Amino acid sequence: QTPPGLPLRVEDVEKRFGGVTALDGATFSVEEGSITGLIGPNGAGKSTMFDCITGVHTPDAGSIRFHGEELIGKEPYQIAQDGLVRTFQIARELEEMTVLENLMLAPKGQIGESAWRSVAPVARRGVVKQEEQIREDVWETLEFFEIDHLAGEYAGNLSGGQRKLLEMARALMTDPEMVLLDEPLAGVNPTLEEKLLDRVHDLREQGYTFLFVEHDMEVIMENCEHIIVMHQGKVLAEGDADEISENEQVIEAYLGE
């Protein structure tokens, strides 16, 4: 059983790609209402871990439980329905739609990048929202992310940072409990970066939980109260920013990058 307050529990997860061991018995938990950072040098297994948690890959061994329920074997859209979503890059089909249309579609459908497969076909827990309610939620979300002035703009015309805000907005439209962010600041200018991080903190105040992969160590140290360090497919260390920055094994792992 997953202890209360630790909704996500990853245990002894292994994943091999041919001869490459990407995950080699990784174990960690994510605390409810936290912003938890997942870091590690290149090739540590962070993206593979995200893909395993969100049902994109099936691990070879181990278990991944969300509120005690096994996620391994579930489809990405089922995991999204359970309340665990990740942000996805805006797919090409969606670039030809407006920001407003992108958000209108999200709760019914396509948060995935392979638009019609990794989908959350209905809002969480099988409740299909009425169009009017969706419209209201969409405008609220647009205003929250301060992209309401872009509602009529084609997604394909957005800047890197505006796209990231839209990606997060789309993920939120599915009414999640936990959001997995895979390098959400890549290609984002400093002004929008701050805005994006502010929104993450606002949402955490509202009770959302975040698992945050980011290459920029400083961003992780400043924004995450708990940090998990992966190395060679395993969890090397866990702790707060002070503990992690003083950890000899962590320093060594990064030096070898």
Distance spanning both ends of the chain, measured CA to CA: 37
Binding mask 40-69 for ligand ADP (x = CB under 6 A): x-xxxxxxx---------------------
Instruction: Give the residues across from 154 on adjacent strands.
Output: 98
Residue 48 binds which of Mg ion, ligand ADP, none (CB < 5-8 A, kind-dependent): ligand ADP
Residue 37 or residue 40: which is nearer to ligand ADP going by CB? Answer: 40
Q: How far is the CB of 176 from Mg ion (least distance, A)?
A: 21
Region of 35-43, 93-101, 173-181, 235-243 interacting with ligand ADP (CB under 6 A) = 35-43
Residue 29, beta-bridge partner list: 9
The nearer residue to ligand ADP, 40 or 161, going by C-beta atoms, is: 40
Interaction residues for Mg ion, span 80-139 (CB under 5 A): none
Q: Is the distance from CB of 171 to CB of 85 less than 8 angstroms? A: yes
Q: Which residue stretches of 82-189 are H helix?
A: 92-95, 99-105, 131-144, 160-173
Q: How many residues bind ligand ADP (CB under 6 A)?
A: 11
**Distance (Å, rounded) from C-alpha 46 to C-alpha 19?**
18
Tell me the CA distances in angstroms from 158 to 25, 73, 94, one per residue in order: 40, 36, 12
CA 96-53-227 angle, to 5 degrees, is 105
Single residue of 27, 47, 78, 232 touching Mg ion by CB under 5 A:
47
- Mask: binding to ligand ADP, 137-176, rule CB under 6 A, as x and -? ----------------------------------------
* Residue 94 binding result from Mg ion, ligand ADP, none, given CB thresholds of 5 to 8 Å by partner type: none
Q: Round to whole Å and give the CA distance between 97 and 86.
A: 21
Is 78 a residue that touches Mg ion (CB under 5 A)? no
For 154, which DSSP code? B
Binding interface with Mg ion (CB under 5 A): 46-47
